[in-house]
Amino acid sequence: MKSVTVLGLSLTLIYNIYSLPSHAQQNSTYPSKPIRVIVPFVSGGPMDLIGRIVGQQFTKKWGQNFIIDNRGGAAGTIGTETAAKSAADGYTLLHTSSAHAMLPAFNKLNYDPVQDFSAITTAARMVGYVLCVHPNLSAHNVSELIALAKKNPSTLNYGTSGYGGVLHMANELFNAAAEIKMTPVHYKGVGQVVTDLAGGHINLSFMGSSNTVSVAKTGKIRPLAISGAKRWKQLPEVPTISESGLKDFTYYAWFGFWFPANTPKDIVQRMHETIASTVREPTVITRFDELGFEPYILSSEAFTQLVQSDIKTTKKIAEKIDKTSSGAAPLQ
């Protein structure tokens, strides 16, 4: 009887092996249909731009459409949660920024930013954020700005694109490095920050490199320094913050891709290889540079470590920020 049971079990296993497609068999034709790319912010922002640039190249390589699905709201948590709860079959991607690692410090999340995702890779990072002031401010370089802020604690104000966002973090890290205190003015997006800085309603702000070029040409803002490790060739006269006196100060936003957790490893690896080769193409590098980005590729493991490290750093900064304050109002 025992031999019959074993034989029956063996036959069942053989039947299952040959009648059901394995992951390898299923994934050998991947992708066989369009891939949805969830961007958890409204269209037109950096993530949307990078997603579309990369997606166009994917379509050429794989012959499948990459459909950008903008799911903005709640500082990016709505779209990110949607991605986390999607099927782990390789047909839903999350594309977002270093804001992914900042959200846990300021929000109660319905997902885990590390455990609920299969990290693929970073794709790009900004060449840096540009520290800009209104021309009426009597600071023409970083040293003068720091001296002015030390002389007038909490008097100078800076714009952010939202509480706990990348611009808020940039300014708070700058405050900590310079040992100064300035007051945040929180807006609902980058566009409002640019408008009010140009109009003189706030004193200063870090701005995305691509936002800075066009506005700086009007003379309505004055770029002081860039937060990257090197100067940007689109603004060659603007020094780095490190050059300007705050040695080794750098601040970047990175942009990356994830699958939902438990996506087959061979699909994750294939997507990693495709993203890496895509962002190294000359046409993509040129377009990135025009927009203030540069290719930035990490292994899946290193990407996960980056997210974990940034979560810890952001939580430390968040502990020093007054969470009961919504910031100051713009100057009239």
Q: Does residue 219 register a pLDDT over 70?
A: yes
> Which pair of tokens denotes residue 124?
């790009």
pLDDT in tens, 236-258: 999 999 999 999 999 989 999 99
Give me the domains of the chain, ranges plus CATH numbers.
32-125+252-317 (3.40.190.150), 129-251 (3.40.190.10)
Task: Tell me the C-alpha distance between 84 and 87, whole Å.
Answer: 8
What b/e string do you get for 264-285 counting C-beta neighbours within 10 Å, with b at 16 or more? beebbebbbebbbebbeeeebe
Q: Which helix (H) or strand (E) holds 56?
A: helix 46-62
- As beta bridge partners, residue 72 has none
pLDDT bin (cut points 50, 70, 90) of residue 73 is confident
* Predicted local distance difference test score (pLDDT) of residue 188: 77
The residue written with tokens 């060739």 in the block is: 233
Model confidence band, residue 323 (pLDDT cutoffs 50, 70, 90): low
- This prediction has a pTM of 0.80
Which of the pair, 267 or 42, is modelled with greater confidence? 267
pLDDT of residue 166: 85
CA separation for the pair 272, 294 (Å, rounded): 17
Q: What is the mean pLDDT of residues 201-218?
A: 90
Q: Return d(Cα 218, Cα 213) in angstroms, integer.
A: 9
Mean pLDDT of 149-158: 96
Question: What pLDDT score was predicted for residue 131?
Answer: 97
User: Could you tell me which residues are beta bridge partners of residue 29?
Assistant: none
Report the pLDDT value the prediction gives residue 226, as an integer from 0 to 100. 97
